[in-house]
Amino acid sequence: MEVYAPPRPKPVSPGAHEPWDHNPAVKVVGGSAAFLVGLPFGAGRSVYHAVGDLKDAALFAGKLANPFDPKGREEAAGQVRNGVHGALQYGRSVVADPRRLRADALAAGKTALRDLVPFNRPMADTAWDEMKREFGVGMNDGEGLVNVVGFFGGGEALAGMRAVRTFEATRDARIAKSMAQGLDRKTAEYLSKPYEGRGHHSPIPQRRSVISSEKWKIPIPPVLQGKKIPAWIMDSPLNVSKPRGMSQADFYEYHYGVDKRFQGAKLPANLNGGKGWSGKRLNQKRYGFPERVWRGTPTFWKDGAAIVDAGEFPGLFENQTQGGPQ
Binding site for another protein (CB under 8 A): 34, 36-41, 44-45, 48, 128, 132, 135-136, 139, 190, 197-198, 206-210, 212, 214-217, 226, 228, 252, 260-270, 274-276, 278, 280-281, 289, 324-326
Backbone φ and ψ for 325, nearest 5 degrees, come out as -65, 150
Closer to another protein by CB, 66 or 270: give it. 270
DSSP percent split of the chain into helix, strand, coil, nearest 5: 60, 5, 35
Displacement of CA 24 from its chain's centroid (Å): 36
Minimum distance of another protein from residue 210's CB (angstroms): 5
Closer to another protein by CB, 8 or 207: give it. 207
Minimum distance of another protein from residue 317's CB (angstroms): 18
Closer to another protein by CB, 172 or 214: give it. 214
CA separation for the pair 252, 174 (Å, rounded): 13
CA separation for the pair 295, 258 (Å, rounded): 7
| Residues forming a β-bridge with 265 | 277
Minimum distance of another protein from residue 108's CB (angstroms): 25
Closer to another protein by CB, 212 or 236: give it. 212
Minimum distance of another protein from residue 93's CB (angstroms): 35
Closer to another protein by CB, 94 or 238: give it. 238
Minimum distance of another protein from residue 25's CB (angstroms): 20
CA separation for the pair 142, 37 (Å, rounded): 10
The neighbour count for residue 11, using CB atoms within 10 Å, is 6
* Helix residue ranges, H only, 268-322: 289-296, 299-312, 316-320
